Structure 1
């Protein structure tokens, strides 16, 4: 049933605002006291659009009881005419929802008859000549044989994690749900069903967290949550752009501005000047190499553009493998076709000058020749297009080849450059604006000459200017610089490699954006906590480190001395509250100790020390051997001046610093340690308990929870007496005559008596 819905007009980071106001804090405390859960999805549109401020807000909140939180789905509909509010619908679903997918035939490889599949190919392969031109005929043979001997079907509806043992339980639950969705029998069956299905879902999530790097992107995490949690929220689709227009624009982007035919001298590259040693690339592949390559194919991966699965190739017979070997050898040895474009020719020449390996250059040339592509957008495909220049996007080889191609970029005088793939930053330091402008104008002109000679196309419209200084009287002054006839725009907050810069290098804007990112990812943790398959303390902690802390610590060695780091720390405090289940009044040091994560300032300090170590010892570091100029302000000082190099492992250094600060800054440090709150990088004891018990145990340890004495202090309760007649404080809960009793020291292990006490109070505090 729905408990509360309305326009609260309160600001809170949990429902999309940049910061909390007094009303937002009151709403969060009220939700805790009433055992309510806020239903909010950061991916949904804002529910209110202010005509005065031209901005969207979320004043309309929906709160449901905790037992219904995992089943409630919020949807924001299209706006109503003559109203600034959008309608909101709340649907209470059954505990398990089937995932619906479009009908598409898929091979059921588990039921494949590989012997007949292999035999049919062995009988037909001798009639196909082993030549690259016959590859299409070869793939048609594989697909035709696969359709005959591998069943194809499609299950349009399925429930992730549903096994044969839980199917009968699901049927019983559906029967009870249709009779009365809110009855005690339905609720009990739903709990049992979720516990069984949740184990499989939890394993899928753990594998995602352990095997995926989500430092810069959390889309895969959101996609997995939607799939496992039956979230039917669909992102908006583009309707004004077609796949054909995108493909045509990609072809235009690759065309050179200068169509210059290569001269005779350019054509006659002196290959004889490069002694050609014996190369492994000139040798044909042998059967052992082919078998080794087939063993490295990963089953279960999607097919390529030829629609041939890895399993189809791995189950080929001896004749088919022999045919494949001959075809590959003829493909990689006969490399005599002309270059497609001038750009490819120039890159191959630079590669030849660098390596002196003609065979390697011929292989690279073949990878760039005759490339065709199509664009798929909104389930529609464009026509096939030919790409005669550029590099194949998404390949491991592309950034390496681009770095080789642009490795000879000039270094303008009085300037310094920073290059990361195709991102170039040119900096200079002068005494006034008038001295900076001619230096940068000359540098850009030199870069234009280089780009034209190498058939590269700079984009002045995306090039930004920014001046860094502390003169407030010149805060609005802009640089007047043009590039190829285009006046460059001055941007107050340029972004380079994901870091937002500002005039005074205070990093305030960057930290505000980082805080917003962490708050959005905290919503993932809240979804996990409200699900049966994700509410596992180790899983929540691993997710927080992979999503929230990695985002909050990106490039922190450059901004860790900013005075605005508290913005990020506040968001990370909420992260640890979600991990531990503690309420907002919990002391911050206890949050990180219970979560087993060092405080943010300690983690940033160790990252800066590790960066300093790399800067001194690693010649590949961009700042190797660089001496930073002295800085008047400590907040603007480089980490090269403020931290020493790291001498031990990062884990050891974090723990040592944390323990020293723990005893120096906390007057109750010894008392907390007796309750099991210690500064170590592992979860507090009891993390293997069910989530409600673990949450209650932590609240008893820190003496902060929804006891009647605190609720009366917060003006959410009129009485503070317990059922036994005494004042119900957090310490009284351990010695109440109506409940299992334990001592504060029992909470550290925790002992069976402490677990019994936590289970007794878990629905109350």
Structure 2
């Protein structure tokens, strides 16, 4: 093929093509893929069909131009496992069209398509966007064969975004068995249960006398984080498979050697039974009376599959303070200003609100603060402050006194 040399895909090689005056069909495979053979190349009534086999899987690539009838038989029949995919250009309500056309009725009435499973998710984007009519359709389809028990071949389908110089959207289909992978958020997690709080407190007590109690408390934050990183176990959650046990590991190694689908099926059944057992144990152990932390953690995990985008608040504390400052400048007459100044001069010079903060007040505030809460913008967890020693708590009292007397609020508090 003359154009095949121009359309190269990095990491893939062209194995077969079918050319036409208007339409062409090509199939690429990944470099290094073994046990690949071309079974059939046919063109009947203008419909192009290419069939290849990769190990035990048969893949039938179809292209049907619009307004053409399906031949009889429309597609070759292959034993399980087999996949039929391509541009069918057929309208049916099962894949998003408002009504069925005559071509799809011919296709669904065929014996080869009475025992296949349609791989389609209406929540995903359409596979074709018409630039002329500004409409979206789903002409690109995928059908899977079923086992004797009626279970279809395991597969997943993902429709990507726009593709350059094409109205079709690329579609990725993963066929075969796959263990679920959990990807955690890239946030540093600390194990407070295994923390050495004695060493942490001693570290802060030894070095806090070098830091001044001023609103610019960046040095204090750095000291707490430095002590926490040294005496509190921490790590990032890695990608993992839930309920992966030694039995599952042995089956996985066996499957890597043999590539037997029966072994993969047993592996997934073992993984599913382990997940079901853990789920039953988790639900039976829920207790809202004594502690609801584990229950709320479970609810958060159940919603982790739907990734929530966290947006920064548009209104900050600085914006609120600036708004109040500008709107508080009311116009007053001279008599009112003189009256206010006179009342201020006659008032007491000191009050309980202006007295310095004490360690007892700091202790009460830390006791009222709940543990296991999310750290703020400064990455300081409540546990960091709760485990401060006498010197650290005295430093906090001096800090709040300085903020109260000077009116300067630390920058991290205003974000």
Normalised to the residue count of structure 2, the TM-score between the two structures is: 0.53
Counterpart for residue 189 of structure 1: 267
Task: Report 1:206-355 matches (<5 A).
Answer: 224-225=304-305, 265=332, 268=337, 270=340, 290-295=362-367, 297-331=369-403, 333-334=404-405, 336=407
Task: Report 1:480-499 matches (<5 A).
Answer: none
CA positional deviation for 1:174: 1.5
Counterpart for residue 129 of structure 2: 49
Normalised to the residue count of structure 1, the TM-score between the two structures is: 0.32
CA positional deviation for 1:113: 1.8
Q: Which whole-Å CA distance do the structure 2 matches of 1:281 and 1:141 have between them?
A: 30
3-state SS of the aligned residue for 2:213?
A: coil
Distance 1:129-1:51 versus aligned 2 partners, 3 A rule: closer
Distance 1:91-1:183 versus aligned 2 partners, 3 A rule: same
The superposition leaves residues 467-524 of structure 1 with CA deviations (integer Å, 9 ceiling, x where unpaired) of: xxxxxxxxxxxxxxxxxxxxxxxxxxxxxxxxxxxxxxxxxxxxxxxxxxxxxxxxxx
Counterpart for residue 207 of structure 2: 124
Q: Which whole-Å CA distance do the structure 1 matches of 2:383 and 2:190 have between them?
A: 11
Distance 1:138-1:371 versus aligned 2 partners, 3 A rule: closer
The superposition leaves residues 254-279 of structure 1 with CA deviations (integer Å, 9 ceiling, x where unpaired) of: 999xx999577389595959xx9x99
Counterpart for residue 92 of structure 2: 10
Distance 1:325-1:35 versus aligned 2 partners, 3 A rule: farther
Counterpart for residue 158 of structure 2: 75
CA contact (8 A) 1:294 1:314 kept: yes
Counterpart for residue 667 of structure 1: none
3-state SS of the aligned residue for 2:121?
A: coil
**Structure 2 residue 227 is matched with structure 1 residue 145:** yes
Counterpart for residue 738 of structure 1: none
**Structure 2 residue 230 is matched with structure 1 residue 158:** no
Counterpart for residue 253 of structure 2: 175
Q: Which whole-Å CA distance do the structure 1 matches of 2:190 and 2:296 have between them?
A: 26
Structure 1: which 5+ residue stretches go unaligned? 215-219, 228-233, 236-242, 338-365, 374-765
CA contact (8 A) 2:119 2:142 kept: yes
Looking at CA atoms only, which structure, 1 or 2, has the larger radius of gyration? 2
3-state SS of the aligned residue for 1:319?
A: helix
The superposition leaves residues 363-419 of structure 1 with CA deviations (integer Å, 9 ceiling, x where unpaired) of: xxx69x99765xxxxxxxxxxxxxxxxxxxxxxxxxxxxxxxxxxxxxxxxxxxxxx
Q: Which whole-Å CA distance do the structure 1 matches of 2:260 and 2:207 have between them?
A: 63
CA positional deviation for 1:195: 2.2
Q: Which whole-Å CA distance do the structure 1 matches of 2:368 and 2:98 have between them?
A: 52
Structure 2: which 5+ residue stretches go unaligned? 1-80, 287-291
3-state SS of the aligned residue for 1:334?
A: helix
3-state SS of the aligned residue for 1:46?
A: coil
CA contact (8 A) 2:377 2:412 kept: no
Task: Report 1:620-635 matches (<5 A).
Answer: none
Counterpart for residue 138 of structure 2: 58
Q: Which whole-Å CA distance do the structure 2 matches of 1:253 and 1:325 have between them?
A: 27
Q: Which whole-Å CA distance do the structure 2 matches of 1:35 and 1:290 have between them?
A: 69
CA contact (8 A) 2:354 2:405 kept: no
Q: Which whole-Å CA distance do the structure 2 matches of 1:113 and 1:301 have between them?
A: 19
Task: Report 1:31-42 matches (<5 A).
Answer: 34=115, 36=117, 38-40=119-121, 42=123
The superposition leaves residues 588-643 of structure 1 with CA deviations (integer Å, 9 ceiling, x where unpaired) of: xxxxxxxxxxxxxxxxxxxxxxxxxxxxxxxxxxxxxxxxxxxxxxxxxxxxxxxx
